[in-house]
Amino acid sequence: MKLKSLILFLSLSVTSIYSQVDESQTGAWYMYFYNHQFKDSQWGIQGDFQYRDWQGVGDMEQLLLRSGITYSPKDVNVKFTLGYGNVTSGEFGESDDTSVENRIYQEALIPQKLGNRFYITHRFRYEQRFVENQDFRTRYRYNIFLNVPLNKKELAPKAIYAAIYNEIFINGATDIGDGNEVEIFDRNRTYLGLGYVLNPNIRFQLGWMNQKTVNWGKGQLQLSMHHNF
């Protein structure tokens, strides 16, 4: 009887944790990405600032500030980044509690073009994560991006394009301290959107992303600006 009661209690506890996020509620991410290559140099900077909300506006999911130094080797179609990110995460619902993460990351971007219209980019990222009240963590990420111009043959000014990506996250270890564990699989993101090339330096995108974690899955609207300066 005691064993049955314990199993029931654990089941209810897990259900309560999983149900804290309303999976039917569409969230929103507002994002600014920047990139700059120093003149006559292989070095540059890039990063992004993102505000993520559980419900669109008024219930902060995350505030992410990330910047890095880039290096592009000569005669090789790849860009390397060493960067730092600061992430403030909020809880779903009425709670105002937040947690902070500091993150160092290394990244490789490999662009390629298939035919006249298919712009593909592979992104490999390795993160070292210092999450509040957790042990040191690491994570591996792989993202494949695809941009396809619709009304032009290339991503030129006034081009409208389809934007698709899929990214998978894998934890480097399961033990995060104080007897707590996570799964090796962390999450997966799948995105479909439309973009517009304003000029050679600025693009805008609007789309929908579905994020699946071990515990929940949720749709997110995404509005982003991509800026080369």
What does the DSSP 8-state code read for residue 174?
Answer: S
> What pLDDT does residue 7 have?
39
In the chain, what is the straight-line distance between the N-terminal and C-terminal CA atoms, in Å? 68
Please give the C-alpha separations between residue 188 and each of 75, 90, 217, in angstroms, as whole numbers. 33, 20, 9
pLDDT tens column, 145-192: 999 999 999 999 999 999 999 999 999 999 999 999 999 999 999 999
Q: What six digits make up the tokens of 43?
A: 């070095």
Output the pTM of the full model: 0.88
Query: What pLDDT is recorded for position 23?
Result: 83
Cβ neighbours of residue 38 under 8 Å, at least 6 residues apart? 44
Q: How far apart are CA 32 and CA 51, in angstroms?
A: 9
Per-residue model confidence as pLDDT tens digits over 18-29: 347 878 889 999
Residues in the chain: 229
Match 């990110």 to its residue by tokens.
85
pLDDT by 10-residue block (mean), the chain, 229 residues: 42 43 88 96 98 93 98 96 97 90 98 94 98 96 98 96 98 94 97 98 98 93 97
Look at residue 10 in the predicted model and tell me its pLDDT: 38
